[in-house]
A and B are shown apart, each in its own frame.
Chain A
């Protein structure tokens, strides 16, 4: 079957999609967006986390056919998403009305774009080791800072409780989210 939906602000079409296929498979294998990781395919690890109509979900548990006509943001589009949010916030408009910020960068694959504040904070705090969990954590953490600009440690733990990391022991990840929240607060 054919599935048409929007990914990172751009209309996409995938052909010959098997009916039992997951959104994760379509993103990685059919649309050339390997940012979302495939680790467990059973909702346990969160490394495949994307936003579906704004809501964080495990893309391995969404059937491809279920995203027809809907809006998906992956880690590749996170920087652009964060930039539009900041621009909308500055002008007091809501997110969908905000103009897409564009340079020579590719908002779809994320290539050449500047990092989002959460991404930069993960680097600065040393929250990335092997990096396999990172894309899912970034999407989940970015959504948290969108809905709770000043999260408590408890809020952060709760928001990231569906994302497993085998390397860092989570402390540096907590530091990164605190750092991103603090920088976001300064910017306003």
Chain B
């Protein structure tokens, strides 16, 4: 094994171009487990800890450019207002020690259907900035990033530079089912974001299909129902039958498996429950801010 230690982003890209089989290591919270248990014996480890750019974030007009290695702890501490869904999801990851090391770049690299960043990114809307020495930068829409079980859209010579996450324009929620609070890989998880600017609702589902997915049919149904009923303008309570059908469609959009953490049937049921709850929570909060701003006007 060789340990490659690039001191800059350019050096990291050059090293990845020269050794496409090199395994990048950021927080190491996925990679080191595999090495410790001899599940993986890479020829090259490509250490990203020295690449300072990957630990920075910029808050722009419409989105946050989040460096690939920014640890979850920093997202929780500094980006709660801009990225509430991702901050909530970050808080559910493992333990403080893991959140101090692991980040979204590693979560995307592993692309596990159980990764907690994915539902939040899908719901918020995001693009993954990837780069190679040969072809430069491309932006991969988050909906196209997950290509299979633990597979993603990265080419062998590419590295993730950052994730561009849309800044919240409305309330966001993240909900996760597990056996206890800390240190739990999701049985299944659900992210939901209201986007009042575009009058749309977006979702993200974890651990209920081979890849993280959006519940597209459920979103379409809800967006149409909210528009037709004039809900965005009136801010009235969502009709229970609408919420119920949204939940049913979310459950139907899953393609879960039975495994040690839960059965397919349980997962489908839980996704429906989380869909209804996160919709209720975010909508209540949307109504609250509307009344507050009207009161102030």
**Which residues of A are in contact with B by a Cβ distance under 8 Å?**
1, 18-20, 22, 41-44, 46, 49, 55-58, 60-63, 65-66, 68, 140, 158-159, 161-163
- At the interface, yes or no: B95 with Cβ under 8 Å from chain A? yes
Most buried by A among B1, B2, B97: B97
CB of B154 within 8 A of chain A?
A: no
27 A–B contacts, CB within 8 A, in A order: A18-B1, A20-B41, A20-B45, A41-B36, A42-B37, A43-B33, A43-B98, A44-B183, A49-B97, A56-B97, A58-B29, A60-B36, A61-B29, A61-B98, A61-B101, A63-B25, A63-B28, A63-B31, A65-B3, A65-B5, A66-B28, A140-B97, A159-B96, A162-B94, A162-B95, A162-B96, A162-B97
Contact B97 A20 (CB under 8 A): no
Q: Bound state CA distance, A57 and B25, in angstroms? A: 15
List A contacts of B96 (CB < 8 A).
56, 140, 158-159, 161-162
- As a 0/1 sequence over residues 32 to 74 of chain B, the CB contacts with chain A under 8 angstroms (1 = contact) are 1101110001100101010000000000000000000000000
A60→B182 CA distance, assembly (Å)? 19
B263 within 8 A of A: no
B181 within 8 A of A: yes
Chain A nearest CB, measured from B91 CB (Å): 9
Q: Please tell me if the beta carbons of A19 and B1 are within 8 angstroms of each other in the complex.
A: yes
Judge whether B37 and A161 touch: CB under 8 Å: no
For residue A162, which residue of chain B has the nearest CB?
B95
B45: A residues at CB distance < 8 A: 19-20, 63, 65
Give the CA-CA distance A63 to B28 in the complex, in Å: 7
Query: B47 to A63, Cβ gap below 8 A?
Result: yes
Closest to B42 in A: A20
B34 to chain A, nearest CB (A): 10
The answer on a CB contact under 8 Å between B36 and A22 is yes
